[in-house]
Amino acid sequence: MKFNNAPTLLLFMVAGLSSASLYAKEPSRQELVDRIDLLESELKQLRQDVDNNASKESLQVISEKIDGIAVSSPSDTLIHMAGYADVGYIDQESSDGSFGVGSFSPIFHFQYRDLVMLESELEIEIDDAGETETNLEYLTIDWFINDYMALIAGKFLSPIGQFRQSLHPSWINKLPSAPPGFGHDGAAPVSEVGVQLRGAFSVANMRTNYALYVGNGPELLTAFEDGEYELDGVEAEGKGTDADGEKVMGGRFGVIPVAGLELGLSVATGKATVTAVEDGDSSLLSGEAARDYDVLGADLSWSIQAFNFRGEYVETKVGDDIGSGAAASEGATWTTWYAQSSWRPGQSSWELVARYTDFDSPHNSQDQQQWAVGLNYIVASNFIAKIAYEFNDGESGSDAELDRLLLQLAYGF
């Protein structure tokens, strides 16, 4: 018998009992009416109680609803915060060790359905003098056009290679420092202002991904050194204006032939102009014409069991001056590459890392060859304690030559 029938049963019983007493005492008409009223109200109460007492089925419905709410988004707009921070200690050969704050990099996300997402990362740092610096690391509006394509517009991390766009956050980088040439002012471009198309598709069961961009491109620096003007650096850090009106185009194409292995090829080409002269006559700038600017990159990542291997090569080439500026008539080439391997046995919280980098710039004083070895304790997947030692080799007497001991705590949130 179902629980719902209980009131009817009860009614019969009550009716039975009351009719029994009816014969015994023969109550008056009024008494009967009163009793019926009482019964009616009791019945009503009972019905209500039964209704309130949720049945198993209605519980089911409610739980499923709760379940649904927890799983689907409560609204079309989502606001989300992520990011990372690191703190550490650096002891460089021939100077005293010091504590430092690497950076605090909050990331803000605003997402409207699966249509558009705003991504923004700030980079907040304390410099040597104790001043706080804030930079907009990236700010893009990502429009998910279809399943194979998203349009990314704004300031974005350079899609050339892997290190800048995917590996530099401190909780991801397996060593406390960036490989020489992959930091700021090196061989690898850092960021870009423009538009980018990114996406993925499969060809013959092989997964591939792509990024294509058009942007303002970098600016060049020259310096007066040893009695002549030389190209001193490429500022590829997302310039908000395009000094020469010439855009740079490029991208990366990656293939994943088998799970765990990814190969990528990157190129960029365009024009760049000298916009600053250090220790020299800046009137020379007026004669400068846009120079050729070409970047080439290749990267590899391979995970097998407890091992992970990575390697990356980037070359930035700036052409000769073709105008009359002659602030630095010769072109220049920056190249760098690294190979890194790490080992973390499955059940272990410990990870061993070794990396070799060879950075070659037009200035001997900046060239560096580096062996870095490190030991990491993975407290949680996003919280890592690192200790590492860099064996640096460079021009004697230059900073590039000094070995360093680094300690770091990195937390991604």
Query: Where in 86-145 is the site for ligand HEC (CB under 6 A)?
Result: 107, 121
User: Which residue number, 9 or 61, has a Cβ lying nearer to other proteins?
Assistant: 61
Query: Which residues are CB-contacts of 349 (< 8 A; sequence separation ≥ 6)?
Result: 377, 378, 379
Interface with ligand HEC, residue 169, by CB under 6 A: yes
User: Which residue number, 297 or 412, has a Cβ lying nearer to ligand HEC?
Assistant: 412
With CB under 6 A as the contact rule, the residue among 50, 82, 212, 339 that binds ligand HEC is 82
**Nearest Cα residue to 78 out of 121, 120, 117:** 117
Q: How far is the CB of 74 from other proteins (least distance, A)?
A: 7
Instruction: Name residue, tokens 């003098």.
Output: 129
Interface with ligand HEC, residue 48, by CB under 6 A: no
**Nearest Cα residue to 299 out of 267, 256, 263, 334:** 263
User: Which residue number, 35 or 109, has a Cβ lying nearer to other proteins?
Assistant: 109
User: Which residue number, 107 or 223, has a Cβ lying nearer to ligand HEC?
Assistant: 107
Q: How far is the CB of 121 from other proteins (least distance, A)?
A: 11
**Residue 410 binds which entry of other proteins, ligand HEC, none, with Cβ cut-offs from 5 to 8 Å by kind?**
none
- Nearest residue by C-beta to ligand HEC? 82
User: Which residue number, 82 or 197, has a Cβ lying nearer to ligand HEC?
Assistant: 82
User: Which residue number, 142 or 244, has a Cβ lying nearer to ligand HEC?
Assistant: 142
User: Which residue number, 148 or 391, has a Cβ lying nearer to other proteins?
Assistant: 148
Q: How far apart are CA 248 and CA 195, in angstroms?
A: 11
Q: How far is the CB of 169 from ligand HEC (least distance, A)?
A: 5
The interface region with ligand HEC, picked from 2-10, 141-149, 164-172, 177-185 by CB under 6 A, is: 164-172
Q: How far is the CB of 34 from other proteins (least distance, A)?
A: 46
Q: Are 254 and 264 in contact (CB under 8 A)?
A: yes
Q: How far is the CB of 38 from other proteins (least distance, A)?
A: 40
Q: How far is the CB of 320 from other proteins (least distance, A)?
A: 14
The interface region with ligand HEC, picked from 63-71, 166-174, 320-328, 348-356 by CB under 6 A, is: 166-174
Q: How far is the CB of 152 from ligand HEC (least distance, A)?
A: 12
Stretch 237-276 residues interacting with ligand HEC (CB under 6 A):
none
User: Which residue number, 59 or 115, has a Cβ lying nearer to ligand HEC?
Assistant: 115
Phi, psi torsion values for 247, nearest 5 degrees: -85, 160
**Residue 209 binds which entry of other proteins, ligand HEC, none, with Cβ cut-offs from 5 to 8 Å by kind?**
other proteins
**Residue 355 binds which entry of ligand HEC, other proteins, none, with Cβ cut-offs from 5 to 8 Å by kind?**
none
User: Which residue number, 232 or 351, has a Cβ lying nearer to ligand HEC?
Assistant: 351
With CB under 6 A as the contact rule, the residue among 41, 95, 132, 166 that binds ligand HEC is 166
Q: How far is the CB of 170 from other proteins (least distance, A)?
A: 11
Q: How far is the CB of 73 from other proteins (least distance, A)?
A: 6
SS (H, E, C) the chain: CCHHHHHHHHHHHHHHHHHHHHHHHCCCHHHHHHHHHHHHHHHHHHHHHHHHCCCHHHHHHHHHHHHHHHHCCCCCEEEEEEEEEEEEEEEECCCCCEEEEEEEEEEEEEEECCCEEEEEEEEEEECCCCCEEEEEEEEEEEEEEECCEEEEEEEEECCCCCHHHHHCCCCCCCCCCCCCCCCCCCCCCCEEEEEEEEEEEEECCEEEEEEEEEECCCEEEEEEECCEEEEEEEECECCCCCCCCCCEEEEEEEEECCCCEEEEEEEEEEEEEEEEEECCCHHHHHHCCCEEEEEEEEEEEEEECCEEEEEEEEEEEECCCCCCCCCCCCCEEEEEEEEEEEECCCCCCEEEEEEEEEEECCCCCCCEEEEEEEEEEEEECCEEEEEEEEEEEECCCCHHHCCEEEEEEEEEC
List residues binding ligand HEC (CB under 6 A): 82, 107, 121, 166, 169, 172, 412
